[in-house]
Amino acid sequence: MTQRPRAAVVVTGSELVRGERTDRNGPFLAAEALRHGLEPARITIVGDNPAELETVLRESLEADACLVSGGLGPTHDDRTVELLARATGLELVVDEALEAEIEAISRSVAERLRRPYADFAPGVRKQATRPVPAASIGLAGTAPGLVLRAPTGCVVVVLPGPPAELRRLWPNAVASEPMQELLARTRPPGRRVLRLFGLSESAVARALEEAGGDGDGVEATICARDFELHVDLVVEPGAEERADVLEGELVERLERWLFARDERGVEEHVLSLARARGLKLATAESCTGGLVAARLTSIPGSSDVFVGAVVAYADAVKAAELDVPQELLAEHGAVSAEVAEAMAEGARRRLGADLAVSVTGIAGPGGGTEEKPVGLVHIHASGPDGSRARRLDIPGEREQIRARATVTVLHLLRQILEDDTNP
Amino acid sequence: MTQRPRAAVVVTGSELVRGERTDRNGPFLAAEALRHGLEPARITIVGDNPAELETVLRESLEADACLVSGGLGPTHDDRTVELLARATGLELVVDEALEAEIEAISRSVAERLRRPYADFAPGVRKQATRPVPAASIGLAGTAPGLVLRAPTGCVVVVLPGPPAELRRLWPNAVASEPMQELLARTRPPGRRVLRLFGLSESAVARALEEAGGDGDGVEATICARDFELHVDLVVEPGAEERADVLEGELVERLERWLFARDERGVEEHVLSLARARGLKLATAESCTGGLVAARLTSIPGSSDVFVGAVVAYADAVKAAELDVPQELLAEHGAVSAEVAEAMAEGARRRLGADLAVSVTGIAGPGGGTEEKPVGLVHIHASGPDGSRARRLDIPGEREQIRARATVTVLHLLRQILEDDTNP
């Protein structure tokens, strides 16, 4: 059992607690807490119902740190500060220096919108109201982030809801005196990451068991994400040797499926491998509709490796833009190993790439037959040192079939680049 | 203030509470609760620390319904059922009928993996253990979903963690006797949705204020999502007239930016509009790298409208596959209104489309100049009834620039299709 100080994350937002939008602040704050040596104990998402929010804050104040996001706006629905004062029993005051700071911003907004400042004044006063003691750690628009120590001893950080603003003010919260005092008691854990592709979660669990399991200052989490498996080791200071042994045992057992020991995604590894060999890449996509190209181009600097793609959804486009022979389409159908090969060859030649990969399949829900059911996908990579093909039968629905085909194509590219680099 | 019975959602998972993965079950269960007339009061994400999980369950049992996801696996880390028994004070028993059902599945798994069934037996026994009273609502793999009524009166639903399995078993939970009894007390609210594009959140807030605001059985939420603004009205039974008035006032003020009054995304509207007019679509993408094509092809049946795309990342591909003249590239640069126009025209002609849209821009972080900074994007739509061009200056980082360009391109397609349909 861990001895780390506990952090409770509280996220406010009616649209979040109703499931209309997915929260991004909770995971960010929890991961940051862990990185700084706190144990993220819980993330609670709550709406703007005052009784509910006050209860959640009260419960969260029992942790060593309470990280709150949202509810700092100028309107009466934004009640975080008021309810925090109630939950902590702290008095509220208008901070005059803060009020002057917020007023300056609001006056220029009023001017731009050609509205009288008087419309803004009550909101400014509300946003300049803070518990005693509490210190502003900077403004997001007109909303101040706050840090304070509650009478329970809990360090409370209050941050604005918009994710970009929250991330911008977070370092100021970490640097604040109450947080620094808390973090002086922590010993940030180390992290090891193993990223695997092509095996089952239970196979990884068995390897972990055979490797001796976690414990003794090393916590292992196996996480299936985006059709890959990630093993995260959280290593307490002092347990590094134990972690080395466990990591070594795991690598020995799982080497065949291991593709990374860092946080970079498979598309980054593909681009690095191609860049190192001076190879240009292209894709020819049917059922993935551009998802492979979109993943590759999500990485800054991809343009020095990736030249382009043809998304050939219609057969006429496969023929015209990728030189897939009409006879091949007629004889084998668009979803076939033969057409996948012709698409890859065509992309390589037409787009001037050294290595091209193709994908053609039936994403469903319609279009499946007994012979070629929904989920059948052919992929083909064609490069300077030869080619490689795969037939996939992917379970699930359209979104899952497309996503899994995309990941598998990226891993096929990675494998061909790795093997050709170390034959 | 609402009188709906309260629902508390509890999501378990160490990788979720540490922010290593984003939870999808909480938002799903909350939205479902609301749809059935319950008020989602909070979503709590918690790890496998037993004390923490028991406390969260205890707190959540104060609601009228407690919806729990995860922690039902066969290993000792999966403690949801055990801790639920402790939090409710209910006794645990091995359900023999359930054990027989799980054993049958485990035996075939054991056979397939060529491992002795004895390895599985303790896990089977654990997964067949349930509180009294509790009823199984079906298996996800070997994990049973459970429904029970706690001594507090709270209806507890326990569902497996994998999102697809959770969604599959959820209707069984709704149909169970304890849930039906609870839902008999609810009056599911109505929902109205307005989807807007091209204006600011504060402009929508002002329109809502001018329209009389919410209240009296109508709750309005303004939600910025994917660079669009969605106004959700949750309407209590009996408040339909008030909702009609508010909705009418909002539509009157916001008509210019309103593109949908349903849950379908802009890509679905684009495909419907094109289908109705018998038009074929294509895209020519540079900085978005295939994201527009991927959005369009995410919709089942898109193949009868969308023919394909050229992702022209390299200038050579713009020239070879989209017939963009080399002189145009040399004179104006790849990121220019002129090249955007040539790309759209080229895609239309080369891919055999009636309406094609292009996008070329600087997604950053590199590649910007004083004259053409990061975030500069040119888009162009070329169709049978003419063409339309836009220059965008998008703030933020690479991911945001690409995402916002994608949405804007889809809305440009929608607008040109709408205007040409109703000139």
User: Which of A52, A290, A350 faces B321 most closely, judged by CB atoms?
Assistant: A350
Q: Which of A11, A38, A42 to mutate to test the interface with B (most CBs of B within 10 A)?
A: A42
pLDDT band (50, 70, 90) for residue A423: low
User: In terms of DSSP bridges, do strands A143-149 and A135-140 run parallel, antiparallel, or are they unpaired?
Assistant: antiparallel
Residues A255 and A275 in one domain: no
Query: Residue A133, preceding bond cis, omega within 30 degrees?
Result: yes
Q: 3-state class of B228 per DSSP?
A: strand
Q: End of a domain among B153, B183, B213?
A: B183
Mean pLDDT to the nearest integer, A50-62:
96
- A97-120: average pLDDT: 89
> Residue A195 has what pLDDT?
97
Cβ–Cβ under 8 Å, residues B21 and A223: yes
Residues B47 and B68 in one domain: yes
Asked whether the beta carbons of A219 and A234 are under 8 A apart, the reply is yes
Whether B24 is in a domain gets the answer: yes
Residue A1 lies in a domain: no
Q: Are residues B12 and B133 in the same domain?
A: yes
If asked whether residues B345 and B276 sit together in one domain, one would say yes
What is the reported pLDDT for B39?
94
Amino acid (one-letter) located at B247? E
One domain for residues A313 and A247: no
Is the residue at B75 inside a domain? yes
The per-type count for chain B, helices as H runs and strands as E runs, is 16, 17
Yes or no, beta carbons of A294 and B297 under 8 Å apart: no
Tell me whether residue B366 is exposed, middle or buried, using C-beta atoms within 10 angstroms of its C-beta: 0 to 12, 13 to 18, 19 or more: exposed
A270, A148: one domain: no
- Region A297-305 average pLDDT: 97
Check pLDDT > 70 for residue A272.
yes
Tally of structural domains, chain B: 3
Name which of B368, B349, B340 is nearest B307 in CA terms.
Answer: B349
DSSP H or E stretch at residue A193: strand A190-196
Q: Is residue B242 part of a domain?
A: yes
> Can you tell me the mean pLDDT for A275-301?
97
- Distance between start and end Cα atoms, chain A: 45
Same domain for B284 and B226: no
**pLDDT value of residue A1:** 44
One-letter amino acid of A165: E
Q: Where in the sequence is the domain holding B310, given as residue range(s)?
A: 266-421
Proportion of chain A above pLDDT 70, given as a percent: 99
Q: Indicate if B149 and B252 belong to the same structural domain.
A: no
Is the per-residue pLDDT at A303 higher than 80?
yes
The predicted pLDDT at position B422 comes to: 64
| Contact indicator for B328, B342 with CB cutoff of 8 Å | yes
Q: Do A303 and B314 touch (CB under 8 A)?
A: yes
| pLDDT beyond 50 at A234 | yes
B1 lies in some domain: no
Residue B279 included in any domain = yes
pLDDT in tens, A137-172: 999 888 999 999 999 999 999 999 989 889 999 999
Q: Which CATH number does the domain housing residue A36 bear?
A: 3.40.980.10
CA distance A185 to chain B (A): 20
Which regions of B237-326 does DSSP assign to beta strands (E)? 258-260, 281-285, 306-312
- Whether B331 is covered by a domain: the verdict is yes
CA gap B395, B404 in Å, rounded: 9
The reported pTM is 0.87
- End-to-end Cα separation, chain B, in angstroms: 46
Q: Which of B236, B260, B284 is the last residue of a domain?
A: B260
Q: Is the pLDDT of residue A17 over 50?
A: yes
In A335-397, which residue ranges form alpha helices assigned H by DSSP? 337-351
> What is the reported pLDDT for B423?
55
What is residue B396's predicted lDDT score, i.e. its pLDDT? 84
- Return averaged pLDDT per consecutive 10 residues of chain B, 423 residues in all: 85 92 95 95 95 96 97 86 96 95 91 86 93 93 94 96 92 97 93 93 88 91 86 92 96 96 95 97 98 98 97 97 97 98 98 98 95 97 95 91 97 92 62
Closest to A44 in 3D by CA, of B56, B49, B4:
B56
Q: How far is CA B421 from the centre of its chain?
A: 30
What gap in Å lies between CA B175 and CA B180, rounded to an integer? Answer: 6
Domain end marker among B148, B183, B218 = B183
Q: Residue holding tokens 């043809």?
A: A310
Q: What is the ipTM of this complex?
A: 0.87
Q: Determine which of B43, B75, B106, B399 to mutate to test the interface with A (most A C-beta atoms within 10 Å).
A: B43
Is the pLDDT at A58 greater than 70? The verdict is: yes
Q: Do A47 and B40 touch (CB under 8 A)?
A: yes
Strands A6-12 and A39-46: parallel
Q: How many residues does this entry show for chain A?
A: 423
Give the amino acid at A95: D
> Are A177 and A218 in a shared domain?
no
Q: What is the CATH number of the domain that holds B330?
A: 3.90.950.20
pLDDT recorded at residue A421 = 67
Q: For A233-256, what is the mean pLDDT?
A: 95
Same domain, A176 and A159: yes
Instruction: Determine how many CB atoms are found less than 10 A away from the CB of residue A237.
Output: 12
Which candidate, A29, A223, A265, places its Cα nearest to that of B19?
A: A29
The nearest CA of chain B is from the CA of A398 a distance in Å of 8
Instruction: Indicate whether A297 and A227 sit together in one domain.
Output: no
CB atoms within 10 A of CB A159: 32
- Cβ–Cβ of B398/A298 closer than 8 Å? yes
Q: B414 and B363 share a domain?
A: yes
Instruction: Check CB contact under 8 Å for A311 and B288.
Output: no
Contact A30 B17 (CB under 8 A): yes
CB B78 within 8 A of CB B71: yes
CA distance A147 to A415: 49
